[in-house]
Amino acid sequence: MSSESTSKKSIGIVKTQSVRISQPLKLACGIVLTEHELIYETYGELNAQRNNGILLCHALSGDHHAAGFYEGDNRPGWWEHYVGPGKAIDSDRFFIVSVNNIGSCFGSTGPTSINPQTSEPWGASFPSLRARDWVESQRLLMEHLNIECWAAIIGGSLGGMQAMRWSLEHPTKVRNAVVIASSMKLTAQNIAFNEIARRAIKSDPDFCDGNYLQQVKAPVRGLALARMIGHVTYLSDELMGQKFGRELRIGDLVDRNADPVEFQVESYLNYQGDKFSDSFDANSYILITKMLDYFDLSREYGNDPVKAFGHSECNFLVISFSSDWRFAPERSREITDALLAADRPVSYIEIESDKGHDAFLLPNARYEDALGGYLSRVADQLQGGA
């Protein structure tokens, strides 16, 4: 599979779809959204049995555009290398659904949406969310698409948390859960990084206590800094050394009249921060990082993950990456051990990579073979009526 990856075709031109779900959605915090809108994309065709659906779950800053291209835009979707005809997540064999979750800022109901009770943007007043709220919203989309059971639910990082939550909340509606670079709960260090990023946003004078949209402002400096903090944690030290080392972009360490010294890594991080602040919403960033902090798969089961996974009925594939220190392989092994102790069918693979947490988004032959091989067997089972 991996040897052919460069010759595999893109899904091509794709279009965004939307649905307004009129069924009330009661959130874990107790607030009810009487209706909400979801933006999503689909790739491939739903078969006659309507059982070849795959749900892709995005992470913190992800969206619905996982693969293909928009008309007139040469930027591919965020998982272009893995989603498409003949690729690991094969659109020739599966009907793939990629949804932008509520609380995000790419068209689905969230802080930038209009609150029907005030006729103004929700802003900081948008209700707090849990991963189970995303799962319940996705289930309503599932009903809209007339799918009874997902062939697989796949996600990396926060997306993997959603896949695990699906297996507990709706065990009969998912046959396979693919959990990539994820964890059953965040470490204290992860929570600390998220809080530092939130503080960076809130310290921006243009944050306006979260009401910046009403005042026609945007905390772009704070959001850019938050992204820079996060981005550093997604990369490995080895990768940053390979990409940048101590190379200078501009400046002279001797000539005081020259431009100020700037290292290549500084330029890169500033670029990433500025680009992100132009496209993402600060309230959404705060909301979703809090959701990450709150996630604890086994809280309702006496903090016993074995007991929690005892409620699942699907097969699992768990994948980790050797240099990922944000969601270290130890976290994935904890998931695998709990599944084994719960007598759940699970396969685990640790991928050697120097790309850090971002490795789950980037090309890797062994990763591609493992994910593609697993899903190929899933497709074969569907065709065989298993």
Where residue 235 sits, what CATH number does that domain have?
Answer: 1.10.1740.110
Q: How many domains does the chain have?
A: 2
Whether residues 157 and 305 fall in one domain: yes
- Catalytic residue, chosen from 204, 324, 353, 358, is 324
pTM above 0.95, yes or no: no
CA atoms of 287 and 278, how far apart (whole Å): 18
Whether residues 66 and 159 fall in one domain: yes
Whether residues 278 and 369 fall in one domain: no
| Contact (Cβ atoms closer than 8 angstroms) between residue 259 and residue 251 | yes
Whether residues 208 and 354 fall in one domain: no
Amino acid 383: pLDDT: 86
Amino acid 237: pLDDT: 78
Q: Does residue 157 carry a catalytic annotation? A: yes
Q: Does residue 357 carry a catalytic annotation? A: yes
User: Mind listing the pLDDT tens digit for each residue in 258-313?
Assistant: 455 466 778 878 888 999 999 999 999 999 999 999 999 999 999 999 999 999 99
Whether residues 202 and 240 fall in one domain: yes
Among 288, 304, 326, the domain boundary falls at 288
Amino acid 157: pLDDT: 98
User: Mind listing the pLDDT tens digit for each residue in 154-181?
Assistant: 999 999 999 999 999 999 999 999 999 9
Whether residues 274 and 302 fall in one domain: no
Residue 324 belongs to a domain with what CATH number? 3.40.50.1820
Average pLDDT of the residues in 216-243: 88
User: Mind listing the pLDDT tens digit for each residue in 94-132?
Assistant: 999 999 999 999 999 999 999 999 999 999 999 999 999
The share of the chain scoring above pLDDT 70, in percent, equals 92
Amino acid 196: pLDDT: 97
What band does 254 get if pLDDT is binned at 50, 70 and 90? very low
What band does 253 get if pLDDT is binned at 50, 70 and 90? very low
Whether residues 202 and 339 fall in one domain: no
Amino acid 239: pLDDT: 73
Whether residues 35 and 65 fall in one domain: yes
Q: Does residue 144 carry a catalytic annotation? A: no
Task: Report which of residues 207 and 241 the model is more confident about.
Answer: 207
Amino acid 260: pLDDT: 53
Whether residues 165 and 92 fall in one domain: yes
User: Mind listing the pLDDT tens digit for each residue in 16-57?
Assistant: 999 999 999 999 999 999 999 999 999 999 999 999 999 999
Among 255, 288, 321, the domain boundary falls at 288
Amino acid 248: pLDDT: 52
Whether residues 51 and 29 fall in one domain: yes
Whether residues 79 and 220 fall in one domain: no
Among 239, 261, 288, the domain boundary falls at 288
The share of the chain scoring above pLDDT 90, in percent, equals 85
Residue 5 has pLDDT above 70, yes or no: no
Residue 386 has pLDDT above 90, yes or no: no
Q: Which domain holds residue 230?
A: 191-288
Whether residues 227 and 266 fall in one domain: yes
- Catalytic residue, chosen from 157, 167, 182, 284, is 157
Average pLDDT of the residues in 347-371: 97
What band does 2 get if pLDDT is binned at 50, 70 and 90? very low
